[in-house]
């Protein structure tokens, strides 16, 4: 799943008025369906507008909604366990389409709950619910919300918030700008972003990796018996809330920020040789779970659940 080019979403100026003038004002209603495999692959591409996908217990794919005025049509094909849906638009829209409703198609798609999803957009919101298969999303500008028992989640976006509620699913989020909220984190979770708050909530967290530049990082949850958490930021404060009895080895480091910890009470901060960084290294009884946090000019706060 790849966009034709990321840059096309940001060349929205000179051709806009001409392209809009060439379209009508009436949208086209869609209501089409076809048989589909219970655990097949479904790909959906709608460059401008919204995509809403819902899982159901029917071996069919149903597409309904509206096509933008001036769109060239809807491609809806399927064979051998694969279904593809694509809104066809004039090539000049890739350089001119803006926020005007005349450019926007809105799709509501029902798929077999076990489907593997591949969703792609340039400018539009994406919502997924009640799907148990793998969910992959690629978009440039638009919010993404996944609230489903998916087997795995991968989101690649530039701007827009990302919300994922998918208990126990491996999650991989790549973002430039926008808040990231993950709930149900248990398996492997990786977040890479530049700006925007990152919030992760889960139970028995085993493998978490967060890299960001600006935007607060907050983690709440319990730890697995073995595993690791790594957080690396530049100017983002990091707050971690763990159960009082959490067992782990802690390695916290900051340059100009402060370190506050309710674990390992009394352990002093140290400096290594002539390094300007301050460190807090300690253990609460286990060397099988490691928590490593690195910041430059932000605070690190390690608190027990229930505290503020």
pLDDT in the model for residue 167: 86
Exposed, middle or buried, 231 (CB in 10 Å: 0-12/13-18/19+)?
buried
Indicate whether 119 belongs to any domain.
no
Contacts of 247 (CB under 8 A, 6+ apart): 223, 284, 285, 286, 289
Indicate whether 21 belongs to any domain.
no
pLDDT single digits (tens) 198-225: 999 999 999 999 999 999 999 999 999 9
pLDDT higher than 60, residue 21: no
pLDDT single digits (tens) 163-175: 999 988 899 999 9
Reduced to 3 states, what is the DSSP secondary structure of residue 151? coil
CA distance linking residue 62 with residue 49, whole number of Å: 18
SS3 content of the chain, % helix, strand, coil (to 5): 5, 55, 40
pLDDT in the model for residue 249: 97
pLDDT higher than 90, residue 93: no
Per-residue pLDDT, averaged over 4-8, amounts to 42
- CB under 8 A, 24+ apart: contacts of 189-192: none
Whole-number average pLDDT of the chain: 88
pLDDT in the model for residue 94: 66
pLDDT in the model for residue 98: 53
Indicate whether 213 belongs to any domain.
yes
pTM metric for this prediction? 0.88
pLDDT in the model for residue 13: 31
- Report yes or no: 48 and 93 within 8 Å, Cβ to Cβ: yes
Indicate whether 285 belongs to any domain.
yes
CA distance linking residue 96 with residue 12, whole number of Å: 5
Indicate whether 144 belongs to any domain.
no
Q: Hunting for tokens 């990231």 — which residue is that?
A: 180
Indicate whether 292 belongs to any domain.
yes
- Report yes or no: 191 and 207 within 8 Å, Cβ to Cβ: no
What b/e sequence results for 191-206 when a residue is b if at least 16 CB atoms lie within 10 Å of its CB, and e otherwise?
A: bbbebbbbbbbbeebb
Domain extent for 259: 167-308
pLDDT in the model for residue 75: 97
pLDDT in the model for residue 4: 42
| Paired tokens of 143 | 């919010």
DSSP 185-237: E-SEEEEE-SBS-EEEEEEEEEEEEEE-SBS-EEEEEEEEEEEEEEEE-SS--
Reduced to 3 states, what is the DSSP secondary structure of residue 245? coil
CA distance linking residue 33 with residue 111, whole number of Å: 10
Indicate whether 154 belongs to any domain.
no
Indicate whether 139 belongs to any domain.
no
DSSP 165-186: E-TT--EEEE-SBS-EEEEEE-
How many domains does the chain fold into? 1
Query: pLDDT band at 95, cuts 50/70/90?
Result: low
pLDDT single digits (tens) 222-252: 999 999 999 999 999 999 999 999 999 999 9
pLDDT single digits (tens) 258-278: 999 999 877 887 766 566 788
Per-residue pLDDT, averaged over 133-155, amounts to 97
pLDDT single digits (tens) 102-133: 789 999 999 999 999 999 999 999 999 999 99
């Amino acid at each position: 799943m790849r966009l034709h080019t990321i840059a096309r979403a940001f060349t929205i100026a000179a051709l806009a008025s001409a392209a809009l003038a060439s379209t009508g004002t009436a949208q086209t209603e869609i209501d089409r369906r076809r048989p589909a495999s219970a655990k097949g692959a479904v790909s959906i591409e709608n460059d401008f507008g919204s995509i809403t996908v819902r899982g159901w217990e029917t071996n069919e794919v149903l597409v309904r909604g509206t096509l933008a005025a001036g769109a060239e049509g809807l491609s809806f094909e399927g064979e051998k366990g694969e279904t593809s849906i694509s809104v066809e638009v004039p090539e000049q829209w890739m350089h001119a389409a803006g926020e005007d409703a005349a450019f926007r198609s809105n799709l509501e798609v029902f798929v077999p709950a076990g489907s593997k999803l591949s969703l792609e957009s340039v400018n539009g919101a994406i919502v997924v619910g009640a799907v148990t298969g793998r969910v992959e999303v690629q978009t440039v500008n638009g919010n993404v919300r996944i609230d489903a028992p998916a087997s795995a989640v991968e989101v690649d976006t530039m701007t827009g918030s990302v919300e994922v509620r998918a208990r126990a699913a491996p999650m991989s989020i790549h973002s430039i700008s926008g808040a990231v909220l993950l709930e149900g984190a248990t398996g492997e979770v990786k977040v890479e972003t530049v700006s925007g708050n990152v919030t992760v909530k889960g139970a028995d967290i085993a493998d978490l990796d967060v890299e960001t530049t600006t935007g607060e990082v907050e983690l709440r949850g319990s730890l697995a018996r073995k595993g690791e958490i790594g957080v690396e930021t530049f100017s983002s404060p990091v707050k971690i809330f763990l159960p009082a009895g959490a067992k782990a080895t802690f390695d916290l480091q900051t340059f100009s920020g402060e370190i506050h910890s309710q674990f390992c009470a009394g352990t002093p901060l140290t400096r290594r040789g002539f390094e300007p960084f301050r460190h807090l290294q300690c253990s609460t009884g286990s060397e099988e779970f490691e928590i490593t946090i690195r910041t430059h000019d932000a605070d690190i706060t390690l608190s027990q659940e229930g505290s503020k």
